[in-house]
């Protein structure tokens, strides 16, 4: 929660947040929601209109009295930057407050230049997106950076990543704020995509939802319960790919054996295909890459399976069985109303979705699957930058709390003797 010292500043932020969440909305309705005095609301909204932060959006259809003027946020007044980084792509976009993308930059991730080279690439992509959007630096309200790996979002640090192994304990928040002079948030890329799919994609604002990312080298889960993301005590919640699915299974890069990722991930699917071809199997997948076997990926196998290739269809069915079992465990654990699968899996067609749905409903508790909706995601690579930007917007429009005066949060008593209710308030 943002802390503000002056009541005037707090009330302005409250009005901005209310208009963004409920607008178009009248001053009277703002009063009903906030209990601020109407005269104060009128004064502050005049300021916000003059600054271009709010717009008049017509008049209400109230039955009695003069038609009330409706207020809406000016979504073109300010902008956010979203950055997404994994072992495949570095993405950056500038978005308005909707968020709608104004510019978009995509580059293949360069891992050959070491940790500093990758950092330079990420910063350059963000700068390029800002330049292409043509926005003034002072109009940026924040930058969101979504990374593949374990992220401490309170410190803004990427702790480690099994897919970006050259990055460890990277203080991305500090680096971006120093480079661009703009408040920066850092998040795990799967959680960023979860937020994007929930608010802008297939999640349809479900209060209890799980999003499953199926990447080239990993499988992750973003878990939303009662409208809130689950992080865990060490920020490691959602490591779905490292749940054990097969006793005595293949080795995983995490050091264990039989993990879902090592058994049914895109890299495992690719490896199984190469083995089948080496043993004499024939496949249409080779036609998709002009006969160049080195270009075969898990996505190629999924696409060939949808085309009816028997070898690839058998491999995808094998992978679907393990994904279905793993997802059934997630459904039993968290009882979501909506389960969104990475859109990249849709390359295999509806057959894969039907297979996974059938397994989940057979293996999970009937009470957990009765109203469960399972669907492919709607967003592609842009999900990471949209989600990163959404985190920034949520923070920027967070309804603030008044900062407590020092005498209420500092006491001569030992820390353990402080009043519990004051300690809770001070930590908000």
Long-range contacts of 117-120 (CB under 8 A, 24+ apart): 118/85, 118/164, 118/166, 118/167, 119/170, 119/175
Quickly list DSSP for 158-222. EEE-SSSTT-EEE-HHHHHHHHH-S-EEEEEHHHHHHHHHHHHSTTTT-SSEEEEEE-SS-EEEE
For the record, the structure tokens of 19 come out as 């208009």
What is the per-residue pLDDT across 18-34, written as a single tens digit (0 to 9) for each?
999 888 999 999 999 98
What is the per-residue pLDDT across 391-427, written as a single tens digit (0 to 9) for each?
999 998 887 665 555 544 454 444 443 333 333 333 3
Q: For residue 403, what pLDDT is reported?
A: 54
pLDDT value at 250 more than 80: yes
Cα–Cα distance list, 189 to 21, 167, 200, 233, 390 (Å): 25, 15, 16, 18, 12
pLDDT value at 4 more than 80: no
Q: For residue 400, what pLDDT is reported?
A: 66
Tell me if the bond preceding 24 is cis, omega within 30° of 0. Answer: yes
Rounded to whole angstroms, the Cα distance separating 279 from 299 reads 21
pLDDT value at 122 more than 60: yes
Quickly list DSSP for 242-295. GSB-STT--B-TTS-BSBHHHHHSHHHHHHHHHHHHHTT---THHHHTTT-GGG
Q: For residue 427, what pLDDT is reported?
A: 38
Rounded to whole angstroms, the Cα distance separating 223 from 237 reads 8
Tell me if the bond preceding 99 is cis, omega within 30° of 0. Answer: yes
Q: Tell me the three state secondary structure of residue 81.
A: strand
Local structure of residue 304 (DSSP, 8 states): H
Q: Which conformational region is residue 395 in: left (phi greater than 0), alpha (psi within -120 to 50 degrees), or beta?
A: alpha
Rounded to whole angstroms, the Cα distance separating 186 from 178 reads 14
Nearest to 188 by CA among 145, 217, 141: 145
Cα–Cα distance list, 285 to 27, 51, 90, 203 (Å): 61, 57, 27, 32
Give bridge partners of residue 259 from the DSSP assignment: 244
What would the mean pLDDT of 334-352 be, rounded to a whole number? 97
- Give the number of other CB atoms < 10 A from CB of residue 90: 21
Mean pLDDT rounded to a whole number for the chain: 89
Helix (H) or strand (E) holding 412: none
Query: What are the structural domains of the chain?
Result: 3-74 (1.10.10.10), 79-194+384-395 (3.30.420.40), 207-378 (3.30.420.40)
pLDDT value at 189 more than 70: yes
Compute the radius of gyration of the chain from its Cα atoms.
25
């Amino acid at each position: 929660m943002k802390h503000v010292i002056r009541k005037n500043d707090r009330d302005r932020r409250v009005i901005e947040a209310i208009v963004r969440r409920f607008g178009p909305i009248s001053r009277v309705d703002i009063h009903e929601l906030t209990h601020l005095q109407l005269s104060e609301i009128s004064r502050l909204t005049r300021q916000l209109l003059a600054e271009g932060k709010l717009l008049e959006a017509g008049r209400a259809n109230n039955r009695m009295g003069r038609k009330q003027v409706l207020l809406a946020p000016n979504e073109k007044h300010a902008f956010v930057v979203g950055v997404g980084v994994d072992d495949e792509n570095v993405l950056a976009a500038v978005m308005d407050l909707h968020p709608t993308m104004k510019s978009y930059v995509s580059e293949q991730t360069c891992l050959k230049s070491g940790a500093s080279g990758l950092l330079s690439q990420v910063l350059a992509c963000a700068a390029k997106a800002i330049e292409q959007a043509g926005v003034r630096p002072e109009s940026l309200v924040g930058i969101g950076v979504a990374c593949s790996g374990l992220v401490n979002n309170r410190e803004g640090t990427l702790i480690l990543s099994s897919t970006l192994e050259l990055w460890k304990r990277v203080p991305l928040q500090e680096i971006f704020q120093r480079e661009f002079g703009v408040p920066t948030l850092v998040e795990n890329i799967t959680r960023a995509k979860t937020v994007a799919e929930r608010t802008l994609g297939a999640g349809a604002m479900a209060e209890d939802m799980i999003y499953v990312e199926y990447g080239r080298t990993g499988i992750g889960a973003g878990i939303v319960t009662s409208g809130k993301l689950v992080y865990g005590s060490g920020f490691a919640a959602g490591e779905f790919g490292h749940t054990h699915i097969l006793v005595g299974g293949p080795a995983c890069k995490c050091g264990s054996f039989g993990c879902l990722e090592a058994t049914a991930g895109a890299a495992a699917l690719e490896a199984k295909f190469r083995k089948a071809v080496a043993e004499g199997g024939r496949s249409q997948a080779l036609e998709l890459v002009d006969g160049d076997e080195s270009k075969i990926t898990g996505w190629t196998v999924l696409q060939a399976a949808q085309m009816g290739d028997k070898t690839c269809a058998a491999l995808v069915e094998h992978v679907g069985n393990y994904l279905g079992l793993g997802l059934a465990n997630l459904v039993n654990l968290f009882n979501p109303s909506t389960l969104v699968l990475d859109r990249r899996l849709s390359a295999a067609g509806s057959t894969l979705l039907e297979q996974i749905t059938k397994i989940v409903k057979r293996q999970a508790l009937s009470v957990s699957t009765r109203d469960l909706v399972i669907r492919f995601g709607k967003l592609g690579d842009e999900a990471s930058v949209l989600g990163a930007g959404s985190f920034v917007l949520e923070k920027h429009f967070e309804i603030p709390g008044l900062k407590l005066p020092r005498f209420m949060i500092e006491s001569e008593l030992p820390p353990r003797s402080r009043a519990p209710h004051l300690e809770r308030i001070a930590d908000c």
